[in-house]
Amino acid sequence: MAMRLIDGVRSVFFNIMFFGFTILYLGLIVAPSSFINKKLFHVLLHGYCVGSLQIGRWVMGIKYEYRGTENLPATGALIIVCTHQSNMDSLLVYPRRNDVTALVKKELMSVPFVGTVLKAMNCIPIDRKSAKAHKGMDAVTDKVIAAQAPLLIFPQATRVLIGDTKRLKPGAFYMQETSDLTVIPIATNTGLFWRKGFFHRSGTAVYEIGEPIAKGLDKKAFMDKVHHHVVDRSHALIRDAGYGDELPSREAVRKAARAK
């Protein structure tokens, strides 16, 4: 009870500092720099990501642990598929590959300051509700290869709560099917600490970079691999942190799967 109260108080200060930092630094410094000099923009954006993570460390007591960093190439085009439990997921990848771009909800491109930053990162807007979204993956693939940059994809398409059984989107499959792009999976337990919502808590957030997914797989086999390395491994990290009780029961997962 005492720990929950402490985390609650910390959360108030954390949200004030994080959103204040985002508005002042990202909005008034990083975004305008994109019109001046791209190199300066990336230096400042790197500072925003690291600064945001440090606010989490200092105020909330969140520590960060990278695993499998040797699996992420330092240069070249590739696809990163990562579970999306927290705002932290994007912040953690940028310090490792500051040339990263991403598939983002098209609505974000019209958000003041945020849209400016996403455009400067060459992020690609998609309509999540469109049944034909995958048909534009060839054009996305061409852009990634031309830029020789990593593309971050959240196959869940939005931030999810711990234990969410949301069906994974197959965009990464269509991209790698018509190219020779390497697909790197990432599992996390970030949603335990920097949660979707107002209240957060202290602990060690793990960012586990897996080995490349084998090429030449059919759609089902590929998506099974993504599910294992991204979703199942994330659940394992959550259990390892001692929070297995926050995951749904096997019966609940089966019911959710049958309902899809």
Integer Cα distance of 162 and 238 in angstroms: 9
| Sheet strand arrangement including 62-67 | 62-67, 203-209, 183-188, 78-82, 150-153, 101-105, 124-126
Give the pLDDT band (50/70/90) at residue 137. Answer: confident
Is residue 24's pLDDT more than 90? yes
> What does each C-alpha distance from 47 to 30, 44, 90, 177 come to in angstroms?
9, 5, 14, 35
Is residue 251's pLDDT more than 60? no
Q: Say if CB 200 and CB 53 are below 8 A apart.
A: no
pLDDT one-digit tens code per residue, 83-109: 999 989 999 999 999 899 998 888 888
Residue-averaged pLDDT of the chain: 87
CA angle 186, 42, 211 (to 5 degrees): 20
Tokens of 43: 């230096």
pLDDT one-digit tens code per residue, 216-235: 899 999 999 999 999 999 99
